[in-house]
Chains A and B, each alone.
Chain A
Amino acid sequence: MKTAALRHDVHEQIEQIGQADIVVGIPSYNSAKTIGHVVRAVQAGLAKYFPNYKAVLVNSDGGSSDGTVDVVQNTTIEDFGSILLKHRTEPMYKMAFPYSGIPGKGSAFRAVFAIAEGLNAKACAVVDSDLRSITPEWLELLITPVLENDFDYIAPLYHRHKYDGTITNSIVYPLTRALYGKRVRQPIGGDFGFSGKLAQFYLTKDVWDTDVARFGIDIWMTTTALANGFRVAQSFLGAKIHDAKDPGSDLSDMLYQVVSATFGLMDGYAEQWMAIENSQAVPTFGFEYSVGLEPVKVNTARMIDFFREGIVNLHEIWLSILGAGDLREVERLGALNDSEFHFPIALWTRVVYDYAIAFHQRKLSPEHLIKSLTPLYLGKTASFILEAEHMDAHEAEAEIEKLCQEFESSKSYLVTNWK
Chain B
Amino acid sequence: MSDFLNLILEPLQQLFHKLEEFAPNFLAMLVILLAGILFAWLLRKLVIKLLDTLQFDSWSDRKGFTTLMRKGDMWGKPSLLAGAFVFWVTVIVALMTGLSALNINAIDQLVSQFFVYLPRAFSAILILGIGYIFAGFVSRAVLISAVNSGYHYAKLLAEAIRILLTTLILAMVMEQLQIAPGIVLAAFTIICGGIVLALSISFGVGGIDAARRVIERQATREDQEPEKEDIQHL
Contact = CB atoms under 8 A, between A and B. Distances in A.
B71 interface: no
Contacts of B229: 247-248, 297-299, 302
Given A305-B150, A309-B154, A296 B231 contact: yes
A167 interface: yes
Given A371-B144, A371-B148, A165 B62 contact: no
A374 interface: yes
B221 interface: no
A252 interface: yes
Interface string A362-379: 111100100110110000
A148 interface: no
Interface stretch (A198-206, A311-319, A340-348, A394-402): A311-319
A162 to B, nearest CB: 11
Interface string B134-158: 0001001101111110111011001
B228 interface: yes
A166 B231 contact: yes
**Could you tell me the dominant secondary structure of chain B's interface residues?**
helix
A310 B147 contact: yes
Given A365-B137, A368-B140, A309 B152 contact: yes
A298 B144 contact: no
Nearest to B158: A313
Given A164-B232, A309-B154, A252 B137 contact: no
B1 interface: no
A160 B233 CA distance: 11
A163 interface: yes
B10 interface: no
A296 B230 contact: yes
A364 B155 CA distance: 18
A233 interface: no
Contact of B228 (A247, A295, A364): A247
Given A299-B229, A313-B154, A258 B148 contact: no
A254 B147 contact: no
A299 B147 CA distance: 18
Given A312-B155, A314-B143, A251 B148 contact: yes
B186 interface: no
Nearest to B146: A313
Contacts of A368: 137, 140-141, 144
B196 to A, nearest CB: 25
B23 to A, nearest CB: 58
A248 B148 contact: no
Query: Which of A314, A361, A374 has most B Cβ within 10 Å?
Result: A314
Interface of B: 58, 62, 137, 140-141, 143-148, 150-152, 154-155, 158, 227-234
23 contacts: A166-B231, A167-B233, A168-B234, A188-B234, A248-B231, A295-B230, A297-B229, A298-B230, A299-B227, A302-B229, A309-B147, A309-B150, A310-B147, A313-B154, A317-B144, A361-B62, A363-B62, A368-B137, A368-B141, A371-B148, A374-B147, A374-B148, A381-B233
Which 10 residue pairs spanning A and B have beta carbons closest together? Answer: A313-B154, A252-B148, A296-B230, A297-B230, A313-B155, A164-B232, A167-B233, A313-B147, A374-B148, A371-B144
